[in-house]
Structure 1
Amino acid sequence: MSQRRDALAFDLDGTLIDSAPDIAIAMNRLMAELGRPEIELPAIRRMIGDGAGTLVERALTAASVPHRAEELDIYLKRFLAHYEAEPVRLTRPYAGVLETLAALRAAGYRCAVCTNKPQRLTDIVIEVLGLAPYFGAILGADAVKNRKPHPDHLAVALTAIGATSAQAVMIGDSANDVAPARALAMPSIVMAYGYGRAPLSELGADLILDDFAKLPDALRKIDAGL
């Protein structure tokens, strides 16, 4: 019988929470400052996942805002100021997240968050939404030297909860979650409802779920060797 993998690393946006509506509000406040029309929510969803800087660069490009590389930090700071002013107006955990995390904690799982969201915003959102008690470690993009998809981000998150890759599973929604798991020889699960841009079938995840509440059963399948 296989040993249970009792350490879980979770992506945040598109996996645990639907934050795109608040991200879109903040981004469109920046667009208004720049005299550009609003970017629609579906387009914003497709821009999320690679860190705030990449998000802003994609939005500027989509809105045809001329910009040099050295100007990106200015736009990023303006976007983050808008976002930090109201980060959880519309953001909510996905259905089943709170209940499932509670069940996993009761079952003895060690859990960490491994996200490309800035640490300050990550901490605010997780605390306000009542998710903080379920995680032994919360590591945003700027909490580590190399963020996802670099495996160091995931490895540091696991170390913070006293786990090794042999004891762990990565749960996310995109290639940025699957790639570091594969680099560490870990199984991964992706959520079909998330923000990933690549077709799910191309990611190479061990399992694809359409409902977070199905996660405990999926973990049992992984422990049983699928």
Structure 2
Amino acid sequence: MSSSTLLTVGFDLDMTLIDSRPGIKAAFRALSAETGTFVDADAAVGRLGPPLEQELAYWFPQAEVPDVADRYREIYPAHAIAPSPAMPGAREAIEAVQALGGRVIVVTAKHEPNARLHLDHLGMKPDAVVGWLWAEAKAGALREYGAQVYVGDHVGDVRGARAAGALSVTVPTGPCPEHELREAGADVVLGDLTELPRWLEEYARTRTA
């Protein structure tokens, strides 16, 4: 089966597959304690989605952001992996794609090694993981793998799906409410990932028909 006909579904990570808020709060608090610079961790987790450097720019001088970002990523595994649970229906959503003979790719703005640590810790087994991509930049990976669908929680995920020519399926489980996702051009808005397997069955039927 060619990559153009193989069912391939992409997923965002933070607030789509995993609730990374507890872990990210812990990592930011550790970073704040180490650097002596206040970071409002609650505010930071309310803006999840864009690259780390955008968040750090609220708290650190721009010249310091690259080094601070590197340090955050270094300390992240010790603080953020264990506290971050799977989102409801996340494992079942991945398994539903694979049960149909499809392929799952995770495309995220997160540092790729840390993304893999989250997935391994939670026993999620996508077929590929691509990190360091945000919004429209996600389109390159989605096109490379031939993804027909991209599932995310942020308007940036909608933009990435549309740039790739993929169907944008969204869940309002992150910082963007349903009306923002629809206004951004989402093709489908589900309540959460527990609704994805049923939607996917119908999508697969219409696609093969």
Aligned partner of residue 15 in structure 1, secondary structure: coil
CA contact (8 A) 1:178 1:203 kept: yes
Summarize the Cα distance change of 1:104–1:159 in structure 2 as closer, same or farther, 3 Å threshold.
same
Q: Does 1:176 align with 2:156?
A: yes
2:108 maps to 1:127: no
Q: What is the CA–CA distance in structure 1 between the aligned matches of 2:121 and 2:169, rounded to whole Å?
A: 26
- Where do residues 42-121 of structure 1 align in structure 2 (5 Å cutoff)? 43-58=43-58, 60=59, 65=60, 67=61, 69-121=62-114
**Cα distance, 1:23–1:40 mapped onto 2, change above 3 Å:** closer
The answer to whether the 8 A contact 1:51-1:118 is kept is no
Give the letter aligned to residue 54 of structure 1: Q
1:117-164 Cα distance to aligned partner (Å, 9 max, x none): 001111111111111x2x2210001xxxxx22224x33324534xxx3
TM-score by length of 2: 0.84
Asked whether the equivalents of residues 19 and 86 of structure 2 are also in contact (C-alpha less than 8 Å), the reply is yes
May I ask how many residue pairs the two structures share in their alignment?
A: 202
Q: TM-score, normalised by structure 1?
A: 0.78
- Across the aligned residues of Structure 1 and Structure 2, the Cα RMSD in angstroms comes to 2.5
Give 5+ residue unaligned stretches, structure 1: 142-146
- The amino acid across from 1:212 in the alignment is L
Aligned: 1:139 with 2:130: yes
Equivalences for residues 207-218 of structure 1 within 5 A: 207-218=188-199
- Written as runs of structure 1 = structure 2, the 5 A alignment for 1:145-156 is 147-151=133-137, 153-156=138-141
For the 8 Å contact 2:48–2:174, the answer to whether it is kept is no
Question: Residue type of the partner of 2:135?
Answer: P
**SS, match of residue 174 in structure 2:** coil
Q: Distance in 2 between matches of 1:214 and 1:172?
A: 14
Name 1:32's counterpart in structure 2.
Answer: 33
Measure how far apart 1:115 and its partner are.
0.3
